[in-house]
Chain A
Amino acid sequence: MSSLASSATRTTTARRLQPRFDAKWLIIGACVALALYLGVVPLGFLLWQSFFTPQSATQAAELTLGNYREAYGSARTWTLFWNSLVFAAGTSALAFCFGTLLAWMNERTNTPCKALFFALSIIPLIIPGILFTVAWILLGSPKIGLVNLVLRGIFDTDAVFFNVYSMWGMIWVDALHYSPIAFLLMTAAFRSMDPALEESAVMSGASVLQVVTRVTLPLVWPAIFATLLILFVRAIESFEVPALLGLPVGIQVFTSAIFRAVHRYPSEIGLASSYAVTLLVITTIGVYFQSVLSTRGNRYATMTGKGFRPRLIDLGRWRYLTVAIFLVYFLLIVVLPFAVLLWSSLQKFYSVPSMEALQRLTLEPYRTILGYPSLWRSVWNSLLLALGSATIVMLVTSVICWIVVKTRLRGRWLLDNVASLPMVFPGIVLGLALMIVYLHLPIGVYGTLWILLIAYVTRFLPYGLRYNTISMLQIHKELEESAAMCGASWTTTFRRIVLPLLKPGLLAGWIYIVIVSIRELSSSILLYSPGTEVISILIWELWENGQYVELSALGVMFILALLVLVMLAQWVSRRFGIKEA
């Protein structure tokens, strides 16, 4: 007990004389500062830049509304706005239809081959947008597109059946790419609806139409609206499809217009910023409504009954139709794109499949790409960035989550919101914002790997937060308190109790961030410079150079590598019992 006495007196004196150094506040302070810096600074610089004229050697930047005047004064912008709207609305509507039909078939009917349906949930992770788009160009371009060639052969005409370089082509490709997301969201909605709610309406004497309008629709409406909103935001943020399909034929949307404005000479960063701010406003509204919906969703908590197994509708002979629909869909989204990439990766020069071409199968493109000067550098850069950003994000967000979930600190909700702020940034907008920040902050980050690391960490901070929050909420506060009672300091408790208990969430989130960072394109495209290319940039460059066969070879290997990673992630999640966030 004497040790307690002496330590007590020591504390009192220490408290009076000098604040005792505590690693706790250092770690917390560093993480909070980092989150604030990453979340707020790019936004501030972006807004600031949009109100200034471009700085040049002869002329200093000055305050102006010119960018906005130019942006909103010209008819081109309204075309841009209209294009973006049509593209996003079309994409979300089409993807929603695909997804809902599939989800209904899977959840409420006796369609065969159900095991395959769940392969859909991992497709968007495995096939990066740029490869999916390239594959669809090989399938649907008017001149060399396989679909057109086959149909022409069948009908013996020269007509163009399907032109991927058009607004409809863009909507088609992007909608296909996002339809698995709609499938997952609507599956959840179908699952959480207890059929007893409908059945009791029937028992009350309601007709089928009355059941649908008075019970089913009001119940699923929030889920439908939320799904459409998420798809809309994703579509308006998407970059690969508008850039590869829209730009060659002059159809611009906000994301591709930003890219164009920056890559013009002289680049018009002010104009790009005002586009970016407009886009940001749209996505912010979308994300805001999403969060409102998900809080309001609690009102429908009665829907989430557990343990019921919905009665499946027996489709009878119609199930051959549904399974056919599914197989065609599967063909369009997985088999054809991958097959066309694989085919072209086995050719010396790109040529359409024929008996003659079959004779010329070669592994030459793989040899070329493996010997490609910047390949290994890009792979190394991608790995470094993916591992680095995943580790930093998960560790930093674990501390932030701890503050938000476990403490009663004033202003912790603000911290939560600031760390989630990057969610509203479309990749290209974040890239632009960071470019502006580090062009103005001369700390030697611009043009190095560091700027890419900063971009990835910022962009994926909200993902880390989400994974960690789910696990953190499950840790009872007494588990930490008992460690304190055992004499452990905050740092020891965090390291030996909190982190190990967070492990499942940490690991699942870590792998997820590794996967999405490796595929990242839309931020990197504005931030890379020679020497700091990543894999997705290399694919972009190969496309620009017209090296389709090498691109395909790289694409095939990339997809296989991602498949392994995704399987690993699924295994980890199952092993530790974490559901996908």
Chain B
Amino acid sequence: MLTVRGLCTEYIDERGESIRAAHEVSFEVPQGKLFTLLGPSGCGKTTTLRSIAGLERPRSGEITVEGTVIYSSERNVFIPPNRRRLGMVFQSYAIWPHMTVFQNAAFPLQVGKPRNSRKTIEERVRRVLKVVALEDMAEREATKLSGGQQQRLALARALVMEPPLLLLDEPLSNLDAKLRERMRFELKRLQRDIGITTVYVTHDQSEALALSHSIAVMNKGQIQQTGSPREIYERPGSQFVADFIGSTNFLHATVIGREGDLYRVRSEIGDLKVRAGDELDPGMPVVVSVRPEDLRLSEQATRGDNVLQGTVHTKVFLGESVDFEVKVGERVLLSRAHPSLGTRVGHPIYLSLDAEKCIALREA
């Protein structure tokens, strides 16, 4: 449906120097799927999205929507944004303050070609406003809407021309925390109901995990890893991805050897059995990533691999869970436990690490 191949972009900064933004970015989004570009600010995700929109002209690469080339440096094709007919929701929503809700949503139908009759416009705008539950506010001034309503109006405006592709640029970042969580569900339901192919840009990993069919994690202009939310979270391909998505403990280690599907490594807190995405050779330096919730704590010693003893260093009660900082040797590890665990600070505690959840990554 959407194919991006070898996309390179650059921009001119204040001093007139050209800065590389995205570099050799390639991905594909199948029909009806929600694809997320996730990364810290300045990683090139927004530039990539704006290149698809046509608001920025990349330096090289090729972008195809439904088999139509909309940008290709080789064939010298660049369709201007106003003739790409893609829907887009901006970070600021960009609701025009001098128009009513209806006028905002009707604008795409009025300016595009072919011309639509007044009746069709009326019909289609009513329909799309109904989809986003704004049909009762059609005549209201757009500036009188609340943040969540403005966001839905922006969505309606992007959808009204029934575009093949919907582009969302951090659409939830301007909402307060509570509303953001509600809109997350609503957005997901809407996308799944309409079945519109969507590219979503965000720096918020929980948003990405909650909404996407597929996520591309970007850093410094390049895609680090592409995969389903579960793959990205449970099998991070690099130290950056493991660190950026969720919180994690990193342990420096050296590979000892292979044991079936797993590897045995010598880490700073003792020998561990771990899983690895890449082929590893003995003697290789690696970093092992273990998520806090995969570090199970108990007061009794358990049998099995990857069991270590430590002492409770600090604990923080968070309501739904308790965060323990456990000191093992010289290292302090973060573990998330059920609030029923009440071990006191300074007391000994046992940690058991699921070998399947310990991911060995090449040293960055």
Contact = CB atoms under 8 A, between A and B. Distances in A.
A156 interface: no
Interface string A538-553: 0000000000000000
Nearest to B66: A1
A486 B111 contact: yes
Contacts of A7: 79, 83
A492 B111 contact: yes
B161 interface: yes
Contacts of A8: 68-70, 77, 79
A483 B111 contact: yes
A484 B97 contact: no
Contact of B98 (A12, A482, A503): A503
Interface string A397-419: 00000000000100000000000
Contact of B108 (A479, A486, A503): A486
Interface stretch (A204-212, A267-275, A461-469, A494-502): A494-502
Interface string A471-508: 00000101101111111111010001100110100000
A497 B96 contact: yes
B313 interface: no
Interface residues of A, number: 29
B90 interface: yes
Contacts, number: 104
A515 B236 CA distance: 68
- Among A486, A487, A500, A501, the one with the most B-chain Cβ atoms within 10 Å of its Cβ is A486
Interface string A1-32: 10011011001100110000000000000000
A4 B65 contact: yes
A11 B67 CA distance: 16
Interface residues of B, number: 42
Contacts of B92: 476, 478
A11 B77 CA distance: 8
B82 A489 contact: yes
Nearest to B158: A485
A484 B68 contact: no
Given A478-B90, A482-B90, A488 B84 contact: no
Given A8-B79, A497-B96, A486 B70 contact: no
B13 to A, nearest CB: 10
B191 to A, nearest CB: 18
A1 B55 contact: no
Nearest to B12: A408
A486 B157 contact: yes
Contacts of B12: 408
B111 to A, nearest CB: 4
Contact of B88 (A16, A482, A489, A503): A482
15 contacts: A1-B66, A5-B67, A15-B76, A16-B76, A478-B91, A482-B88, A482-B90, A486-B82, A487-B82, A487-B112, A487-B113, A488-B111, A496-B107, A500-B96, A503-B98
Interface of B: 12, 53-55, 65-70, 75-77, 79-88, 90-94, 96-98, 107-108, 111-113, 154, 157-158, 161, 164, 167
